[in-house]
Amino acid sequence: MVDALIKEIALTKNYLQGETLETIYFGGGTPSILYVDDLKRILDALAANYNLNNLQELTIETNPDDLTTEKIKELSSLKAMGLNRFSIGIQSFFDEDLQYMNRAHNSAEAQTAVKKVQDAGFEKITIDLIYGTPTMNDERWHKNLETAFGLNVPHISSYALTVEEKTALDNKIRKGEAKPVDEEQAARQFKILMDEMKRNRFEQYEISNFAKPGRYAVHNTNYWRGKKYLGLGPSAHSFNNTARRWNVANTINYINSIEKGELPFEEEILTPAQQVNERIMTALRTQWGLPIAEFGLRVADLITENLAGIDQECYTFANGVITLTDQGKLFADAIAAELFIDEE
């Protein structure tokens, strides 16, 4: 797999058209299980094929149960190569929630993992929290947030529980062995999340992402503001403003294709209308909102016409920028769809 990733890096070196890399994100699974020497090989390959002079942020996703003292020490050796940020998949600080979500770690490991990474000298840490699980009442959600704030991390990402088809949780729900997700509960806990983040001086710079002032994730910010990105590995997605592409999901097929010097991806070329709609979808989720003037007068007029059908409590429209209110954030996807322009 690592050999294939390194070869894919070389095969895709022209995808971003010579732009310098600002962020590198090891994610989409559990990259922390890789040996540090393998991570170094991947970083060396990136340095050989891309300009890393402007690299601001290098993140690795981790699970609390992987973050032993020895593992953190090994990962700390990557500081010299740019590693400066940890994303830790906490999900919850309660064992019952973690068991429902089929997580391998427990609540004690969740807190200990964050403290160990801090002790190793890493200040840029983000943790993930999940709300809306049937095991989590509002009181427990408040306690989860209090625990997170007590850890003094500068960034928190939080998402409503979604159940993917054909997963272990989906199977349990279908068999009646686990309770399904309650959408009203999820909406209520999202409101609690927004209120508590404001109270603790976190800024909601994107619907699911909260940070202390000036501590936004560069990677997340670039993504939601429409910058190009390259994904590497099975199932990885890439976007260059005019087309989306995604690698084959099957690992063996991915490796076999790369060994032949072939990039195993499918691609969708976006029409002009789709490019506008892509921008609407992402920009509307951010605190910076959707500046409609960037599309030109004709498209801006179409978006403004579509805006007339949306409840005014859900947005503000000032200086040519559409921004969602807290009420609107509950319906972000639906509002974006209402603003989409049609193909001509």
Domains of the chain, by residue range, sit at 20-224, 272-339
| Separation of alpha carbons 95 and 110, rounded Å | 10
Smallest Cα–Cα separation from 216: which of 145, 168, 288? 288
User: Can you give the pLDDT at residue 174?
Assistant: 79
Region 36-52 average pLDDT: 95
Of the pLDDT bands very low, low, confident and very high (cuts 50, 70, 90), residue 130 is very high
CB of 207 closer than 8 Å to CB of 265: no
Burial class of residue 41 (count of CB atoms within 10 Å of its CB; 0-12, 13-18, 19+)? middle
User: Can you give the pLDDT at residue 102?
Assistant: 85
Average pLDDT taken over every residue of the chain: 94
Task: Tell me the whole-structure pTM to 2 decimals.
Answer: 0.93
Q: Spell out the CATH class of 20-224.
A: alpha beta
